[in-house]
Amino acid sequence: MSSLQAIRYQRGELLVLDQLRLPHENHYDPVTTSEEAFDCIRSMRVRGAPAIAIVAALGHAVELHNGALAASAGPFDTISYIDSRLDYLYESRPTAVDLGNAITHLKKVIREAELDRSKIVQAYIEAAEEIFRKDTETNRSIGAHGASWLLENAQVATLEEKVSVLTHCNTGSLATSGHGTALGIIRSLHEQDKLVHAFCTETRPYNQGSRLTAFELVYENIPSTLITDSMAGALFSTRKQQDHIAAVIVGADRVVRNGDTANKVGTYALSVLAHYHGIKFMVAAPTTSIDLHTETGAEIKIEERKREELTQISGAVVAKDGSVDTSRTERVAIADQRIGVWNPAFDVTPAELIDAIVTENGVVTKGADGKFDFRHVMPERW
């Protein structure tokens, strides 16, 4: 079985799986310019913090490879052209920091290259490709570190030392270049035969959980169950042993210096519930999702999205006999269209409600002072 791929790339060609059509249709869109990359990210055909950064970086790499920059451009024109395209891409979505970190890195790389147009372009393309390549490696390390930490620290009466977990949103292959972050930990637990069951929330309003995570879990044959976001409390208070959740494991769009974490809206509520029930709360975050320039979660800009995400829904048509017609997708209204709507895409979970932040370089927990300190896991470049 081939693994799911949100992003397909070879030099000069980028194909992005349209996640708005999942789980019913497998359709890849070519991305040939920064404008197309921007649109793909803004419309959420690709989403998830690492995948957004990869598509932005590679979208511009393809454009450069295919000759978007005038052949007569000198080295300084080349640098300012690349800067301006990256600044434009930066505006596509504001909350996830991976994009900003990738852009900072790429701008540094082109300034370190030899002062020659084609050398600068080459350095950019290679660095963008490296971001893509490294991401899966990073996720596999997060999976391994997170699985070991949880098995050592799970405080439930485990079934033969196995655990059940709950995850929110989508953090799998579809949100990354492969394997996933929080879902990567779940995959690693499953690979090690240490997972009893994975629960995933529907993740209203955009349903990344029901449309994407459920799809990935079924695709990988991982024992799993879908619940609505509002069922988490009922799940945690159910004392059936197979439902005894050892941890909530989520991804991150931005982890700031004190450990406060912005992630898909609903994450904060889960952290409060987990705390009340004595369930571990784990954040899976590559170091590219860590922002040491921002002190606390109060400073994070939270993206607000359009009202229709709450008042309308789209899906494949269900025939009278219950079969799903995947060739027909329809959009339907599910609320009075005149109602006022507030639609923040993310919320901030305070550091005090987080037990562990799992990076590719190790697990960060609070020190004796009750604070997170990321210094020992951050690569030098940050």
Return residues touching ligand MRU (CB under 6 A).
47-50, 96, 169, 171, 175-176, 181, 208, 251-253, 263-264, 345
User: Cα-flanking dihedrals φ and ψ of residue 40, to 5°?
Assistant: -60, -40
Q: In this complex, which beta carbon is closest to ligand MRU, that of residue 208 or of residue 287?
A: 208
Q: What's the min distance (Å) between Cβ of 197 and ligand MRU?
A: 20
Q: What's the min distance (Å) between Cβ of 321 and ligand MRU?
A: 33
Q: In this complex, which beta carbon is closest to ligand MRU, that of residue 130 or of residue 304?
A: 304
Cis geometry, peptide bond prior to residue 75 (ω within 30 degrees of 0):
no
Q: What's the min distance (Å) between Cβ of 209 and ligand MRU?
A: 10
Q: Can you spell out the DSSP letters for 223-282?
A: -EEEE-GGGHHHHHT---GGG-EEEEEE--SEEETTS-EEEETTHHHHHHHHHHHT-EEE
Which one, of 71, 160, 175, 55, lies nearest residue 118 by Cα? 71
Active site members: 253
Which one, of 232, 265, 271, 228, lies nearest residue 249 by Cα? 271
Q: Is 363 helix (H, G, I), strand (E, B) or coil?
A: strand
Q: What's the min distance (Å) between Cβ of 339 and ligand MRU?
A: 22
Q: What's the min distance (Å) between Cβ of 351 and ligand MRU?
A: 17
Q: In this complex, which beta carbon is closest to ligand MRU, that of residue 253 or of residue 355?
A: 253
Q: What's the min distance (Å) between Cβ of 264 and ligand MRU?
A: 3
Pair of tokens at residue 124 = 């950019």
Q: In this complex, which beta carbon is closest to ligand MRU, that of residue 78 or of residue 267?
A: 267
Cis geometry, peptide bond prior to residue 23 (ω within 30 degrees of 0):
yes
Number of residue whose CB is nearest ligand MRU:
251
Burial class (CB in 10 A: 0-12, 13-18, 19+), 29: middle
Q: What is the rounded CA–CA span in Å between residue 329 and residue 232?
A: 29
User: Cα-flanking dihedrals φ and ψ of residue 48, to 5°?
Assistant: 100, 130
Q: In this complex, which beta carbon is closest to ligand MRU, that of residue 81 or of residue 346?
A: 346
Q: What is the rounded CA–CA span in Å between residue 289 and residue 97?
A: 6
Under DSSP, the state recorded for 17 is E
Can you give the C-alpha Rg of the chain in angstroms?
Answer: 21
Q: What is the rounded CA–CA span in Å between residue 53 and residue 48?
A: 9
Contact 170, 209 (CB under 8 A): yes
